Structure 1
Amino acid sequence: MHRTILPPWLGVVVTDDDVDAPPLLLRLDEPARTWTDAFPVGNGRIGAMVHGGTAHERLQVNDDTCWSGAPHDGPVEPVGPLGPDGAPGVVRRARRLLADGDPLAAEAELARLQSGWVQAYQPLVDVLLDQPDAAGGAGYRRTLDLARGVVTTTWASTADVPWRQDVLVSHPDGALLLERAADAAAPGGGEAWVRLTSPHPWAGAPTPVAAPDAHPRAAVVLATLDMPSHVLPDWVDGPDPVRYGGRAVHAAVALAVLADGDPDRDPDDGARVDVVDGAVRARGVRRLRVVLTTATDHDVATGTLHGDRARVAADALAGLGRAVADVDGIAARHVADHAALMGRVTLDLDAVAPDLPLDTRLARHAHGTADPHLAVLAFQHGRYLTVAGSRPGTLPLNLQGIWNASVRPPWSSNYTININTEMNYWPTLVGDLAECHEPLLGWLDRLSDAGRGTARTLYGVRGWVAHHNSDPWCFTGPTGRGHDSASWSSWPLGGAWLARHVVDHHDWTGDDAALRRHWPVVRGAALAVLDLLVELPDGTLGTSPATSPENHYLLPDGRPAAVSVSTTSDLAIIRDLLEHVRRLAPAAGDHDEDLRAAVDGALERLPTERVAPDGRLAEWRTDVPDAEPGHRHQSHLYRVFPGTSIDPDSAPALTAAALRTLDARGPDSTGWSLAWRLALRARLRDVDGVADLVTAFLHPVDAEPSVGDGPLRGGVYRSLLCAHPPFQIDGNLGFTAGVAEALVQAHRRGPDGVREVHLLPALPAAWPTGRVRGLRLRGGLRLTELAWRDGRVERAVLEADRPVVVDVRERGAAERRQVTLRPGRRVVAAAPA
């Protein structure tokens, strides 16, 4: 019988709220068989996937600044040929072809505007640990503690010696820490090897450097490498898809291995470390600690490369020196920092967590065994991935967050801005992680600067535009070289959609200074859409050419087409943006009367959504057949969610049409689309739909054949990472936002301008009793506590950042209770009579 080894820092942040609720542990009872089985840790910049091996451990490490390519020189370059009137002439010709009824010819014309592709997010190194004495699997357990940000593996070796390993990445120390130890009562003297490998060629192979004086039983190696100068997307065939040389990110990795032996048996401790052929050998080891730091020449704030290799190496070593100087305190500082963010919001669904590994629980849940605690884990998992992957000073989360093992990852692991990047940040504000929103806002400032040239070059318009893909180098053009589908490439509204995040940040925080700082993003996007609008034959304003992201309709002869006129999603995004410009311009200090007049005039002439003859909310300007009825995108429902204009109170007819649309899309889709549909159903107060989508999202795509239910579809891997498939992090984050939307909504204002706080608007029947604390709401509000029993509110406590009056209602009821809130005072907004 083996004992559990408990490090002294493990319990530093237990609070009263933790005592009764099940722990936030993701648990698997075997080492990772695939990359998606591993558990992610991170500090916003350094990410690692922990595989949990015993004799052989692998930590796959990323640095969020490691991308292929380099900053762009000059404006976007269309593949052409363009003709004497340039790129705007191409747009005008496509518009005429659409008016003449030839959308496929219009698509061929628009292909001339395509340029290249975005660059790809890159893996950095693997840390490989070989320790034969630790081999074994008795009592194996691997957990990710979401509350503390630590992956812990415990097991007994074949010699029946208990072992424990903890892995974390510290934000305060900027370092990865692995600590592995055998039980103190067991004989010491084992040997371990630690080495670095990389999918990239070494610029400087791992080489020993002087170890810190304070740690005589330590060895340090330094390695340097360059990222590829160009990587083609994984779906594009071409010669030399991965190229090295030329301008690229320079990176360095510094690794320290600290070994402790058995001082009771050997007064000199007994442990020895040395470097052999670039690998660290540790002998006489009872406890092993590995500390890793990284550095690159990629300046996130400016999007530039300084090119000084010596400085990069020095930065990595300096960071390692600071971390190792107080290595004993790294874990406690990390846990305190991580838990301070994670602990702001708690969710308890009054559910017992079964004493089973996650993969078993997911399979049982898929076959009808109730396990509400899975939803709690998935909700907090989204917040965890935000804390671990997005911190001030980092790049925004990409398609895989900050975790990627492939040189040519799926969809380049890029910023896909026709839904996915935006979804990554849906839970950030409501989840009380506003500082984790800053990387997106900072990147938008740079993206909008780059997009001004694209707006002028391609469309001859003011402001800025971006299309469906981008990267840290702020690519803003249409992708492809004349061969990408117009359904995704010919869509210039990425900037208009992203600008909503500046609006949301202000709506939640009330930070006027941040609004003014980022207002050029919003204003520039508005100027672009105002210039892109054209007058249509019926006198309305619209877009031509237009697409509905990634979707197609059928022509009379059965061929699919993507380009049309005035798609519903185009008009919804534009209307939403212009309404926010009109509302927030005074707070931003923008008193441009000409802009105000243009916005007012456009809003008067923009059509709103319409209901099609079949009862669905129409996606296209005319009633055409769907090429793919169950399509994963539902961009024409934009003003339901993430917009705030369509709900059962404000637009009952459009609500019914939106629900009919979701029904027609079917029950299955990709993982991220299921998360979006969850948020949509919650906004529409479709309780049964919310319940069905929670179940659908938690479907295990990698279940064993004996418990599977047919072909793979969207859901989650056994680690709870979202499966498109393949892995995309957006679904994890969108799920969190959807659950929050089911518990509370505060987007509506009544006719008197009073904000409404709607409690439990879409609570599933499977969650009859529960409590949530700490959610942030629009208007500077905080839901300090919301408790319910038998589906009815028992107690709700609100507080506010500024004086405000709100109306509180419960579960669709017409009755409202008006509550006055003042800063620093918590008010019971609902309680049993």
Structure 2
Amino acid sequence: MTSETTLRYDSPATAWTDALPLGNGRIGTMVFGGVARERLQVNDDTCWSGAPRARSAPDGPAALAAARDALDRDDVREAERQVQRLQGGFVQAYQPLVDLWLDQPDATADGYSRWLRLDEAVAGQSWSGGTQEAFVSRPAGVLVVHRTWSAGPGALDVRITSEHPLDGAAGEHGRWSATLRLPSDAPPDYVAGTRLARDPRPGTSLTAAVALEVRTDGVVTAGPDGPRLRDATWVTLVLASATDYVDATTPPHGDAYLLRATAAASVAAAAAREVSSLRDEHVADHARLFDRVTLDLGTSDTAGTPTDQRLAGPPDPGLAALAFHYGRYLMIAGSRPGTLPLTLQGIWNEAVRPPWSSNYTININTQMNYWPVLSANLAECHEPLVRWMGELAVAGSRTATELYGLRGWTAHHNSDAWAFAEPVGDGASDPAWSFWPLGGAWLARHLVDQHDFTGEALSARDRAVLVGAARFVLDWLVELPDGSLGTRPATSPENSFIAPDGAPAALSTSTTADLAIVRDLLENVLRLDGTDAEEITSALARLPGERVTADGRLAEWRDDVPEAEPEHRHQSHLFRVHPGTSVDPDQEPALARAALATLDARGPESTGWSLAWRLNLRARLRDAAGAQAMVDAFLRPVDEHAHGGGVYRNLFCAHPPFQIDGNFGLTAGVVELLLQSHRTVDGVRELQLLPTLPPAWPSGSVRGLRARGGVTVDLTWDEGVLVAARLVADRDVPVLLRAGGTTERVHLRAGEAWSLTR
């Protein structure tokens, strides 16, 4: 691999957002790279506050009817009060596990450098007196840290600390283990007057165990917080974790002895092997996924420059390629079959009350996490989201029945490891971010994409999830006075307008986002399944389409109302542009022009993840210059105290604070600039090659992208023109290849390469 897959720095991390992330889907680790004092902050993806809970539904149908009646009377404040009766509390929070500290007081950091090799998933550092490498092995299920020093035998103290009380910490002969009890409740940090709760009763919270083993050529003794080394020249540390999380509905068993034994067995098996063997196995496992895709955007004069210095410099195509690969790397490190889905912070979080609980925010952010997973050739990493959706659908079916008296299943803005599906809030929370029953309908889009990209039939479970989401929206629709169908109450996620009383309000009737998501879901269920075909066909015929305002924008609200925040970070009303597939300059040219005008009116600045969202939208609208501006804005440096979007020194997306969805959105957007396959013409899939090539990327190549229909695509271009393409299909399939104003129909044969050279 080239240097464009390596992050480089010439000093240790001073802030958490300077540290370098490692992960195997379950164990996440932030490596700070210190010499005299090193910190490795460790997460386990199953460490959440809380436990499964019984939910008591209010009189939802009555509150819903009262809210609809209030909106009929244009009494938005009464509608808000009625909707707030539906609120069911708050989701739980993703939790940190432990910190691993290495104290070597005599070490100095002369000649220091550190790096993260994305192609190997190894974080390293070197200094005049030694070296260190760290990785988190998927096959072995452990964190491995290997440190050497060349100034002669020395001392090293190893400590383990936690934000949670450590119980039963014990160690001997280089082995150490402990258990910890996670909070029974961790309210969001934005809810004033609340605090962590720790309920000692069984079944109220999760228990975690950590085990550590030390291998060294020195002498190991037991210290108060962990092992101590003397007369050593090298050390290998192996750490494993275990929790009693099973799934969203199974109460934790709390058997600390079993958990400690499980973690200790993983550590012992790994520690018995040579570190080189563990490393080789880990790199091979990672490379099996990472090496599927390469991207070359041209040679850069700054390729060997520290990454933070490159961020401070002029726009750099090589840096864009590095950020693209970084998103792929984070997906492999953070989402593997059998794990939980990526949170707002992926699997990396140091706070017990993290921003927005580090939860699953399903009005865009969780979905954006997985936008690149299929197009960037990492389909296996989609499994955690799809599997968790099945659990959410079970919980959401209870919510649909008990809260609304409707069929199917629903979920709202936020969820967690326990599949929270109700509206969040304390009974007085703003409906703008608490009431929106179409989270499940948006998530269902991922099942559609899974089918379209892989060509594989939906499983029985996934079909049930898809159909269940459709049945809920069919029941949610109401007949409006003009005979059309609509949604009421409706919101446009997290946005608001100015009500007649002069204050912001969020509740309305038939927002554009609602109708776009409903239409997309129903059309795809009709295409892929056929269940309830007559009912769906009838509903689709009565759904209004998008509306263009007098100033040429795509309307967000049913009526022309004053905007409370014209440059708002959400643009959910452009859903059918992306991630939907129905609005682009070919299929709906008038709506595409209005969507582009909407983006222009939103302005050039926003949060980091919103910039990535807008990149995908501009890519679909074939606005190459606008897309380039989004890439450049996304890759501007910010620090932990910043107020504008960009990236931190370690390339984590800054909302601010850190949100990982922007990293994945950037990767997905780069793919959309180079390859699009969302359109069909007379039932044949169209592959658009280099549809929105940015002007700053005149020459380059990409290998291994995936198009819908199960096609792997390699492209080479020069001076902005496609010069070569290679396509390999998983199965026999006809496609339309569109590039440079020409279209060619090609019948691809399963497993046979088809090439184009110009």
Determine if the TM-score, normalized by the shorter chain, exceeds 0.5.
yes
Letter in 2 for 1:769: S
Alignment of 1:738-757 (within 5 A): 738-750=669-681, 752-757=682-687
CA contact (8 A) 1:506 1:515 kept: no
- Structure 2 SS opposite 1:627: coil
Alignment of 1:450-465 (within 5 A): 450-465=395-410
Letter in 2 for 1:357: P
- Structure 2 SS opposite 1:291: strand
Residue 326, structure 1, aligned to residue 302, structure 2? no
Question: Which residue in the other structure is 1:719 paired with?
Answer: 650
Determine the C-alpha separation between the residues in 2 that align with 1:556 and 1:302. 45
Alignment of 1:588-607 (within 5 A): 592=531, 595-607=532-544
- Displacement of 1:605: 0.4
- Displacement of 1:787: 0.3
Letter in 2 for 1:253: V
Determine the C-alpha separation between the residues in 1 that align with 2:359 and 2:409. 20
Question: Which residue in the other structure is 2:213 paired with?
Answer: 256
- Displacement of 1:137: 2.2
Determine which of 125, 128, 132 is the counterpart of 1:153: 125
Residue 172, structure 1, aligned to residue 134, structure 2? no
CA contact (8 A) 1:611 1:654 kept: yes
CA contact (8 A) 1:802 1:822 kept: yes
Determine the C-alpha separation between the residues in 2 that align with 1:825 and 1:41. 37
CA contact (8 A) 2:139 2:282 kept: yes
Determine the C-alpha separation between the residues in 2 that align with 1:138 and 1:426. 42
- Structure 1 SS opposite 2:586: coil
Letter in 2 for 1:734: G
Determine which of 497, 502, 505 is the counterpart of 2:442: 497
Determine the C-alpha separation between the residues in 2 that align with 1:646 and 1:596. 23
Determine the C-alpha separation between the residues in 2 that align with 1:641 and 1:461. 29
- Structure 2 SS opposite 1:794: strand
Determine the C-alpha separation between the residues in 1 that align with 2:199 and 2:93. 13
- Map Cα deviations across residues 678-735 of structure 1 (whole Å, 9 max, x no partner): 000001000011110000100111299xxxxxx6300100110000000010000010
Question: Which residue in the other structure is 1:795 paired with?
Answer: 724
Determine which of 453, 460, 465 is the counterpart of 1:516: 460
CA contact (8 A) 2:182 2:198 kept: no
Question: Which residue in the other structure is 1:344 paired with?
Answer: 292
CA contact (8 A) 1:390 1:436 kept: yes
Determine which of 643, 661, 664 is the counterpart of 1:730: 661
Determine which of 159, 167, 170 is the counterpart of 1:195: 159
- Structure 2 SS opposite 1:191: strand
CA contact (8 A) 1:641 1:680 kept: yes
Determine the C-alpha separation between the residues in 2 that align with 1:284 and 1:700. 43
Letter in 2 for 1:201: P
- Structure 2 SS opposite 1:133: coil
Question: Which residue in the other structure is 2:709 paired with?
Answer: 779
Inter-CA distance 297–388: structure 2 relative to 1 (3 Å threshold) = same
- Displacement of 1:301: 7.8
Determine the C-alpha separation between the residues in 2 that align with 1:72 and 1:755. 46
Letter in 2 for 1:229: S
Question: Which residue in the other structure is 2:106 paired with?
Answer: 133
Determine the C-alpha separation between the residues in 2 that align with 1:363 and 1:434. 34
- Displacement of 1:99: 0.9
Determine the C-alpha separation between the residues in 2 that align with 1:394 and 1:703. 29
Residue 767, structure 1, aligned to residue 714, structure 2? no
Q: How many residues align?
A: 754
Determine the C-alpha separation between the residues in 2 that align with 1:421 and 1:23. 27
Residue 439, structure 1, aligned to residue 384, structure 2? yes
- Displacement of 1:302: 6.0
- Structure 2 SS opposite 1:92: helix
Determine which of 307, 315, 322 is the counterpart of 1:358: 307
- Map Cα deviations across residues 87-139 of structure 1 (whole Å, 9 max, x no partner): 111111111111111112101111111111000000000000001232x2222
Question: Which residue in the other structure is 2:170 paired with?
Answer: 207
Taking only aligned residues, the RMSD between alpha carbons, in angstroms, comes to 1.4
Question: Which residue in the other structure is 1:390 paired with?
Answer: 335
Determine which of 15, 19, 28 is the counterpart of 2:9: 28
Determine the C-alpha separation between the residues in 2 that align with 1:733 and 1:821. 30
- Displacement of 1:76: 4.6
- Structure 1 SS opposite 2:85: helix
How does the TM-score come out when normalised to structure 1?
0.89
CA contact (8 A) 1:301 1:442 kept: no
Determine which of 57, 79, 89 is the counterpart of 1:77: 57
Determine the C-alpha separation between the residues in 2 that align with 1:679 and 1:414. 23
Inter-CA distance 505–533: structure 2 relative to 1 (3 Å threshold) = same
Letter in 1 for 2:115: T
- Structure 2 SS opposite 1:230: coil
CA contact (8 A) 2:50 2:184 kept: yes
- Structure 1 SS opposite 2:145: strand
- Displacement of 1:243: 3.1
CA contact (8 A) 2:216 2:236 kept: yes
- Displacement of 1:166: 0.3
- Displacement of 1:314: 1.0
Determine which of 205, 227, 252 is the counterpart of 1:280: 227
Inter-CA distance 703–537: structure 2 relative to 1 (3 Å threshold) = closer
Determine the C-alpha separation between the residues in 1 that align with 2:67 and 2:306. 56
CA contact (8 A) 1:363 1:703 kept: no
CA contact (8 A) 1:300 1:393 kept: no
Alignment of 1:57-96 (within 5 A): 57-73=38-54, 75-78=55-58, 86-96=59-69
Determine the C-alpha separation between the residues in 1 that align with 2:96 and 2:603. 36
CA contact (8 A) 1:231 1:243 kept: no
Letter in 1 for 2:716: A
- Displacement of 1:173: 0.3
Letter in 2 for 1:761: P
Letter in 2 for 1:722: C
Listed as ranges, the gaps of 5+ residues in structure 1 are: 1-17, 79-85, 212-218, 261-270, 587-591, 705-710
Deviates more, 1:294-303 or 1:514-523: 294-303
- Structure 2 SS opposite 1:208: strand
Residue 43, structure 1, aligned to residue 2, structure 2? no
- Map Cα deviations across residues 564-590 of structure 1 (whole Å, 9 max, x no partner): 00000000000000001000005xxxx
Question: Which residue in the other structure is 2:561 paired with?
Answer: 624
- Displacement of 1:23: 4.1
- Displacement of 1:459: 1.1
CA contact (8 A) 2:161 2:225 kept: no
Determine the C-alpha separation between the residues in 2 that align with 1:765 and 1:712. 29
The percent of aligned pairs where both chains have the same amino acid is 56
- Structure 2 SS opposite 1:139: coil
Question: Which residue in the other structure is 2:746 paired with?
Answer: 819
Deviates more, 1:231-240 or 1:632-641: 231-240
Question: Which residue in the other structure is 2:115 paired with?
Answer: 143
Letter in 2 for 1:101: D
Determine the C-alpha separation between the residues in 2 that align with 1:560 and 1:768. 46
How does the TM-score come out when normalised to structure 2?
0.98
Determine the C-alpha separation between the residues in 2 that align with 1:465 and 1:380. 34
Inter-CA distance 633–819: structure 2 relative to 1 (3 Å threshold) = same
CA contact (8 A) 1:117 1:233 kept: yes
CA contact (8 A) 1:569 1:619 kept: yes
- Displacement of 1:819: 1.1
- Displacement of 1:370: 3.7
Listed as ranges, the gaps of 5+ residues in structure 2 are: none
Determine the C-alpha separation between the residues in 2 that align with 1:154 and 1:242. 42
Letter in 1 for 2:526: R
- Displacement of 1:464: 0.5
CA contact (8 A) 2:297 2:318 kept: yes
- Displacement of 1:655: 0.4
Question: Which residue in the other structure is 2:738 paired with?
Answer: 809
- Structure 2 SS opposite 1:678: helix
- Structure 1 SS opposite 2:135: strand
Question: Which residue in the other structure is 1:216 paired with?
Answer: none
CA contact (8 A) 1:227 1:244 kept: no
- Displacement of 1:354: 3.3
